[in-house]
Structure 1
Amino acid sequence: MPLGLSAPLNIFRESTINNSFSIERLDNRAMNSDFPGRLSYHRILLVEKGRGSITVDGGTFEVHGEEVFLLAKGQIYIFKASSVVTGYVICFGDCFWEKAPASASNCKAVLFNNAAVNQCLQPEENELQELQLLFQALLREYEAPAYNNQVDAMAAYLKIIMIKLANVRMTEEATFDSQDYVLYRKFLDLLSAQYKQLHEVSDYAEMLGVAPRRLSDLCRRCCRNSAKELITGQIVAEAKRALQFSASPVKEIAYLLNFSSPEQFSHFFKKNTHFSPASYRSQFISIGQ
């Protein structure tokens, strides 16, 4: 259920981060917040120990420990009161990521282009230990005195972390052919770029040169969701953001998301959220905050 349905909420936005990158050690850090936050940067939260819960775009996850939360730029999150975390948090912007070698771009796309699928990863003990060492090394680099190419070094560490996290994502699922995984990555890239214009599985299947059924099957094998569910999730998330952070009429939002009419958009939105666009807007957030 969306947060705060009984009353409008304020939303705070992240302040600008120097060089679009930061990493911080959290030691029994109280994660309480009075208002939900809208992310201006991608975030990787490695939880060694913790308690409480975090709600991201309406989905709630318990915080236990030995897990990794991935939050994409633009998502809205809030920690439950009394939530406490020991671990690390990395924040990075797209401009910082561009400094990372291009070979890691697919890993970032798989993890963050449809963040809802990868919101919480649960690495094996050996994977967690390896990630902890990488986070420790990156933190030392971040806190070291400035020197030439320091940003490039940090970007290289981030690339390695992203590759390791992508491998956690792969090993969580049943074994599948690597060619299917490459195709799945290509689908996520297309979806990230085209979801406002293209809403049908057949559209993406045609662009990828495969049958719609095969595309849906491989999506289920890779992330437990069908291709249609992934498309719908992207559209719903964008619609929520438009309703939350703009005063644009529902008619205009429907047009921007390529629905044939406001009525079609309203039916789609209510079917997937159980709220009409107008009700969601008025109950979830105070416009203009």
Structure 2
Amino acid sequence: MKQSEIRELKNEQDFKDFYLNDAPASFCEECSNITYTHGSGFLEIAKLEELKKGQKPIEGKQTRRKFYSVILLTEGEIEENIGHNLYHFLPGTLYFIGENQLHAVERWSNDVKGIFCMFDADYFLLCIKHQIKLNQFPFFQVNQEPFIKLSERETQMMEHLFWKLNSEKCQKTTFNDDLLTRMFLNVILLEAERIYNKQTSPDAFSLSRKDQLAAQFQLLINQHFMDKKQVSDYAELLHVHPNHLNDVIKEVSGFPASHFIQKQLIQEAKSRLIQTTDTVSMIAMELNFTDDSYFGRFFKKQTGITPLQYRKNHKH
């Protein structure tokens, strides 16, 4: 499939425009309308049965989402392509769609029930100090299975956690309320990870060679992004030519290899700006930038604002 045929969905509005007819401004009528400037991110929660009612005929149409999705299926059946694999999900399944993963809905049965949750990295970033990075959760990694099968008790627990998450989201009136909402999101992911790790099979997940290379590349970025900032550095570690690495990453993800190195640096910089009192100079030095001005230009190019503006916008 040509890249032009893959629709990029950047946020919740893109999601609604692509998948739904006459989508509401918010999936929860009781929600307070708290907005923040610059990079605060988004969180949306909806019932699968409500999404099914307004679903457009989008079967087989491929997308890449610039956000993360977690879906709890309690009734009905769902078939979706995630990455390069087709999955058939039954009741009692919790499945995940990571940022930039190739995805397509194939079939939702008419009797589907459950919960759909989507959020972006910026929303999760503000969760708690020293939080786990999203790409460290196994179910968001391209070399791992993107689902877990839940027992009846686990399904009920997850339903309750999602209900609590939505309740906190609807009742929020201050920034601190929103922090509590983010913490419940973190609890859901941590509980899912605990269940996932108990069920993990020692058998390797079957991936194409290109997907394996992309997964190894992402793992190396997680380990070395502060001191290795060039695609050629990672190509050397992977024993491939830089052009080949870049071509494979672009084919698998839709983005050049440099995008993921820069993204990891920006996420780390944002975390330190929000979660520490380090000066911009100190952060630039910790991230191994040659000087403050270069770090400032890099940050503004990626986010549209300066590091100090970003910190000011997220003070609470």
1:13 to 9, 14, 17: 9
- Give 1:28 deviation, angstroms: 6.2
Residues 255/173 of structure 1: CA separation in 2 closer, same or farther (3 Å cut): closer
8 A Cα contact 1:52 1:81, kept in partner? yes
Residue 124 of structure 1: CA displacement?
2.5
TM-score (norm: length of structure 2)? 0.53
CA separation in 2, counterparts of 1:54 and 1:15? 20
Structure 1 counterpart SS, 2:137: helix
Residue 249 of structure 2 is aligned to residue 238 of structure 1 = yes
User: After superposition, where does 1:205-244 map in structure 2 within 5 Å?
Assistant: 238-241=249-252, 244=254
Contact 2:67 2:118 in 1 (8 A): yes
Match of 1:274 in 2: none
Could you tell me which residue of structure 2 aligns to residue 181 of structure 1?
A: none
> What secondary structure, in the 3-state scheme, does the structure 2 residue paired with 1:23 have?
strand
Which position in structure 2 is the counterpart of 1:54?
80
Report the AA paired with residue 147 of structure 2: C
Whole-angstrom distance in 2 between the partners of 1:193 and 1:238: 18
Task: Give RMSD over aligned pairs.
Answer: 3.8
- For the structure 1 residues 26 and 76, does the alpha-carbon distance in structure 2 shift closer, same or farther, using more than 3 Å as the test? same
The equivalent position to 2:68 in structure 1, one of 42, 65, 69, is 42
Provide closer, same or farther for how the CA distance between residues 191 and 153 of structure 1 changes in structure 2, counting only shifts above 3 A: same
Structure 1 equivalent of residue 44 of structure 2? 22
In the TM superposition, what are the counterparts of 1:125-274 in structure 2 within 5 Å? 125-144=152-171, 146-173=173-200, 190=220, 192=222, 197-198=233-234, 238-241=249-252, 244=254
Percent identical: 13
Aligned twin of 1:72: 98
Q: Which amino acid aligns with 1:48?
A: T
Matching residue's letter, 1:169: Y
TM-score, normalised via structure 1 length: 0.57
**For residue 111 of structure 1, what is the aligned residue in structure 2?**
138
Distance, in Å, in 2 between the alignment partners of 1:95 and 1:122 is 28
Runs of at least 4 residues of structure 1 off by over 6 A? 234-237, 253-257
Q: When the two structures are aligned, how many residues end up with a matched partner?
A: 204
Is the 1:29–1:86 Cα contact (8 Å) retained in structure 2? no
Instruction: Quote the Cα distance in structure 1 between the aligned partners of 2:6 and 2:218.
Output: 32
Asked which structure has the greater RCO (Cα within 8 Å, sep 6+), the reply is 1
Shift of 1:43: 1.1
C-alpha contact 1:67 1:121 (8 A) present in aligned 2 = yes
Amino acid at match of 1:240: E
